[in-house]
Structure 1
Amino acid sequence: PAARAPARGAAPTPPGPRARAPGPGAGRRAARRAAKRTAAHVRPHLPTGSLPDPATGPITDRFGVYFTGVGGTGVVTANRVIASAAQAAGLAVSGLDQTGLSQKAGAVVSHLLLSPKGPGGGEGAPTVGAEGADLYLSGDILQAAAAKHLATVHPGRTLAVVDVAVTPTAAMLQRDVAAPDEAVMRAAVAERVGDDRALFLDSKRIAEQVFANQLLANIVLLGAAFQAGGLPLPLAELEKAMGRTGKVAADNRAAFAWGRWAAHDLAAVEAALATTAAPAAEASTPSIFDPSAGAVETAGPLVAAAGLPVDLPGELRELLTRRVAQAVDYQSAARARKFLGLVASAAARDDAANGWALTRAVAESWFKLLTYKDEYEVARLHLLADHDATAAELGIEGPYKVTYHLHPPTLRRMGLKHKLPASRPYAIAFHGLRAARRLRGTPLDLWGLDPDRRHERALIKEYEGLVTAALADGRDYAGLVVLAESAQEIKGYGPIKEAAIERWRARVAQLAPGTAGRST
């Protein structure tokens, strides 16, 4: 859920967490990992020489800062530095932090509006609207190049400062989707902001190699934005704001200086980085979509017994093994075998000459339909979220409380129009629902009585029957692939998903006349 907007003239604050003792060992794992990585790390030195002051004037009108990125890289913390410095400089400040489930790979958007105090100062919505960004910051080029974010850019006025690294999205992690080409994403940003108004740098690499701490990457971006003239705030106030960030104050100031140098003389920064070896890479933070070790162990024999073609490419076999393990975690080995059954039928019609496109299409669509997000799955995924990482990204030290905001479909149908916030009751319910997920689809599945759940189960039957019939009727290969891929268009929840299902049925009726039906 989005954070509540602060009062006019107040800096944005992180959402949700309040004082409460965390569980045993909360936060200690991250601290041990950080200590282990930094113990033997030798930092490179800043380039020698002096930095020129950027040519900027005071803020005389509403100034919008739009910051996008992913959880775990300090987006909110960086924007709080700007807000604190702006307040100290006598500006009115308002904003909104949209963090959602900002565990690793979760999207984060931070809006910040600065304006002179006085009549009209700080008035209006606390968000950066269409073409309202004067400074466009992004800790992830994939987010930066997205049309919904680029809509905030004012061509010819906005300055964009973007990290070129790509953090895999949930779709990439769950469906092994490749990231778009970096050159294409750079061009999308550069064309939108206008000539010479986009600065691209690898701030994560700088943060990792200098500090062995990726959380400082967005402070590096702030320094680059300041030096490029896109952050018209007094340097003294920015440094004081970073001085109020607790134990990491010195590192924040240093990261800001590295960002300034990267904008001023990137070659000098590269030379400085080359004087020391990069720190050993840390094992990536597990995604909530990664299958458990037990499920992976179960998946191997299931895939081996599925009768898949022996010449199936290794990377495709690995993908299928991952999907099988995820299906085991989702419910059981029985659901995993159901997944493999249809995939094996498609693979029998496929071959290397066609690049195994049909097998991939069936695997992805079939997996998507079989693992729909119901109450059991939402509970399971919530329990996998790393709240320690979220707290660290928000700059929270010490105890915290997690509050969930949920809108159960059953209560929505009874007329409830808003989400219900709760903490411990939901956490207890999550554990019960996760344990009960094997009841899904059985006569004891009370949640399955909901119309949304009935639609999802009907869709599984429809797709299985559709593909099975199409594989048997001698249809041309290209037509089979299009038909198999069609279910990827079904997205959303509730009425949105119902409408998507109807559109899919209408398309299927054109692709495979006589085969589309409505199961109940």
Structure 2
Amino acid sequence: RRKRGTFPDPDRRVFINPDVCEGCGDCGVQSNCVSILPLETEFGRKRAIDQSSCNKDYSCLKGFCPSFVTLEGAEVRARPRQDLALPDLPAPPLPAIRGTYNIVVTGVGGTGVVTIGALLAMAAHLEGKGAGVMEMAGLAQKGGAVHIHCRIAGKPADISAIRVAVGEADALIGGDLVVSAGTKTLGLLTRGRSRAVVNSHEIVTGQFTRDRGFRLPTDRLTLALRARLGDAGLVMLDATRLAEVLTGDAVHANVLMLGAAWQSGLVPLGEEAILRAIEINGADPEGNKRAFALGRWAVLHAAAAAEAAAPPAPPRAADLDTIIARRADHLAKYQDARLARRYRDRIARARELDEDFASAMARGYHKLLAYKDEYEVARLHSETLRAAVDAQFASVRAMRFHLAPPILGGLDADRRPKKREFGPWMLGLLGLLARMKRLRGTALDPFGRTAERRLERALIAEYEADMDRVQAGLAPETRDIAIELASLPLEIRGFGPVKARAAEQAAGRRRELLEAFEAGGWPRVVAAE
């Protein structure tokens, strides 16, 4: 309704400053929202908001994190897109309807997959055909698995049931790889009868909101589809990436998939009726008609489409010298040159023993030394926030901050420190606070006596003692244990109660690793004869 202008659209957007974000995932836990995407950075995996799919319920603000700001009057900058001139696209032969032609559409709720079922039904109606569409069991909530069952017949009387039974699907339009390769969907497909066009893009699922390190088992899911359909029965393309590159917005991905399915001969409806259905739907008709044509082009020119959808080349893995230099530079900005030297000296001693151990320590030790206290959050917001916002938005009228200053106290309904909203004036105060970083750790530090600050200082001292202990007894049998122990601080992410919980979990793993190290390695498993 917002897209059609029939429902108020709040003039407020949520933005995450990636420099402040710890990647703890608490925002996803609190909101269960798949518009929170992973963002890979030099300092680990962070979070970002997908502005195209954000439904503006603002539940992510419940996450205990100072990286969130809300922007008023913000317009998302148009993404750069390739201006592709489409060649003539020959129409495919349409499949015959024998009784009913059964289409299953899969995807993730909140991404427009339900619209595909509506377009198919309207196009069938426009051609005088019968159509029955069912959204399975109300599962079309944002982030949930969606199955749309659509039966198309020559006349309405030919449709006796709408739900597609086991093995009866003639076509699968898969907007999401996870749902498409799930047991529920595979059971509807039959080799030789069923054919599919599936979006290969790794779309974030609800699992990511609960497991911050979750990654899709893409190869296994693709193998399951090929095993059921055979190579000839499956077409895969990265529709999400193509939509981003060629239309400037991933929201067009599902209509692009519809175009690809139609060109592959999986839809028994004419192009004219489908395009008219897109116009009647009323949501960005020109953009969606363009997406439909691009889907057709992607099937006819698969190699060119694959090249267009290819992600940017990943940056070359940094060597250890670069890793150390970047983190030492960060520590100098964080505090001073003295802290940077302390870091460099300790990593240099570790490097004399083992390069991989030193690499793990370079990341882990930096994570502990550069803990994000009030001074650092203030510095990062005051130095990097405006540039990060300007890169994604235009015409920002005001920024509001969502913070839980310890000096104000108070608990929320979940017994966590209460977050409060602060106006644009807070940015000036943060700049002043950033310049007070010299007080960090001194007797004059007003924040230094909180439980969180004491924990962070204790973790540094504990880590340094552990590394001294490990380096004194490092051996080939304990090398892997030492590397994991050196990397363990990377698991201690977040702020306040989130960080405290992560530290407690890491402490348990630390005890296990130290016990194994002192025992000379992990116990060997001896196979029974």
Contact 1:161/1:221 (8 A) holds in 2: no
Alignment partner for residue 324 of structure 1, among 328, 353, 362?
328
CA displacement at 1:221 relative to structure 2: 5.3
Flag the 1:432–1:219 CA change in 2: closer, same or farther, 3 A: farther
Structure 1 range deviating more: 82-91 or 193-202:
82-91
| C-alpha distance after superposition, 1:389-423 (max 9, x if no partner) | 766xxxxx976776665566787884652764635
Does residue 1:499 correspond to 2:504, yes or no? yes
Question: Residue 315 in 1 paired to residue 330 in 2?
Answer: no
Q: Is 2:139–2:146's contact at 8 Å kept on the other side of the alignment?
A: yes
Query: Is the contact made by 1:163 and 1:203 (CA closer than 8 Å) also made in structure 2?
Result: yes
Q: Which residue of 2 aligns with 1:349?
A: 353
- Displacement of 1:279 in angstroms is 12
**2:522 — aligned with what?**
none
Give the secondary structure class of the aligned counterpart of 1:200.
strand
Residue 365 of structure 1 aligns to a residue whose secondary structure is helix
Cα separation, 1, equivalents of 2:33 and 2:266? 27
Partner residue of 1:218 out of 253, 260, 273: 253
* Pairing of 1:58-457 with structure 2 (within 5 A): 65-66=107-108, 78=112, 97=142, 109=143, 137-138=175-176, 154=184, 156-157=186-187, 161-164=198-201, 185-191=218-224, 195-196=228-229, 200-203=236-239, 206-207=242-243, 210=246, 213=248, 215=250, 218-219=253-254, 222-223=257-258, 227=262, 235=274, 239-240=278-279, 243-245=282-284, 249-260=285-296, 262=298, 266=299, 268-270=300-302, 315-350=319-354, 356-378=355-377, 384=385, 386-387=388-389, 414=411, 416-417=413-414, 420=419, 422=421, 424=423, 428=427, 430-437=430-437, 439-457=439-457
**What whole-Å deviation, never above 9, does each CA across 1:92-118 have from its counterpart, x for those lacking one?**
888555xxxxxxxxxxx57768799xx
- 8 Å contact from structure 1 (residues 207, 217) kept in 2: yes
| Shift, 1:454, TM fit | 1.6
* Aligned residues of 2:331 and 2:370 also touching (Cα < 8 A): yes
Gaps of 5+ in 1: 6-10, 68-75, 98-108, 117-133, 139-143, 168-176, 287-312, 351-355, 392-396, 515-520
Cα distance in 2, alignment partners of residues 185 and 443 from structure 1: 53
Shift of 1:338: 2.7
Determine if contact 1:404/1:422 at 8 Å carries over to the other structure: yes
> What's the CA shift for 1:206?
3.9
Cα deviation, 1:7-41, whole Å, max 9, x if unaligned, reads xxxx993445999445xxx76xx45x84xx76xx5
Letter in 2 for 1:372: Y
Residue 345 of structure 1 deviates from its aligned partner by 0.9
SS in 1 for 2:319: helix
Q: 1:279 to 1:232 in 2, by over 3 A?
A: closer
SS at match of 1:449: coil
Distance in 2, Cα, partners of 1:405 & 1:193: 47
Cα pair distance change 1:256/1:341, threshold 3 Å:
farther
CA offset at residue 347 of structure 1? 0.9
Structure 1 residue 344, shift from structure 2 partner: 0.8
Structure 1 residue 346: Cα displacement: 0.8
Query: How far apart, CA to CA, are the structure 1 residues paired with 2:339 and 2:278?
Result: 56
Question: What one-letter code is carried by the residue in structure 1 that aligns with 2:385?
Answer: L
- The CA distance in 2 between the partners of 1:136 and 1:408, in whole Å, is 46
Question: What letter corresponds to residue 66 of structure 1 in structure 2?
Answer: V
In the alignment, which of 80, 87, 95 is matched to residue 45 of structure 1? 87
Deviation at 1:335, TM superposition (A): 3.3
Shift in Å, 1:506 = 1.5
Q: Which residue of 1 aligns with 2:21?
A: none
Residue 342 of structure 1: how far off its partner (Å): 1.6
Q: Matches of 2:335 and 2:187 in 1, distance apart?
A: 52
State the AA in 1 paired with 2:492: K
Read off the aligned partner of 1:269 and give its amino acid letter. H
1:280 and 1:188 map into 2 onto residues whose CA distance is 20
CA drift at 1:190: 3.8
Distance 1:321 1:465 in 2: 23
Structure 1 residues 163, 237: closer, same or farther in 2, change over 3 A?
farther
Given that residues 403 and 423 in structure 1 are in contact (C-alpha distance below 8 angstroms), is that contact kept between their aligned partners in structure 2? yes
Letter in 2 for 1:364: R
CA RMSD of aligned residues (A): 5.6
Q: What is the SS of the residue equivalent to 1:372?
A: coil
**Distance of 1:83 and 1:325 partners within structure 2:** 54
Q: Which has the larger radius of gyration?
A: 2
Change in CA separation of 1:495 and 1:252 when aligned onto 2, cut-off 3 Å: same
Q: 1:476 — aligned with what?
A: 475
The answer for the alignment partner of 1:460 in structure 2 is 460
Could you tell me whether the CA contact under 8 Å between 1:467 and 1:484 is conserved in 2?
Answer: no
Describe the shift of the 1:509–1:438 C-alpha distance in structure 2 as closer, same or farther (beyond 3 A): same
TM-score using structure 1 length: 0.56
8 Å CA contact 2:350, 2:358 repeated in 1: yes
Structure with more strand by fraction: 2
Alpha-carbon spacing, 1:114–1:412, altered in 2? closer, same or farther (3 Å):
farther
Aligned in 2, Cα 1:412/1:218: closer, same or farther, shift over 3 Å?
farther
Q: What amino acid is aligned across from residue 323 of structure 2 in structure 1?
A: L
Residue 282 to residue 488, structure 1, CA distance change in 2 (3 Å): closer
Q: How far apart, CA to CA, are the structure 2 residues paired with 1:484 and 1:322?
A: 21
Q: In 2, distance between residues paired with 1:478 and 1:322? A: 31
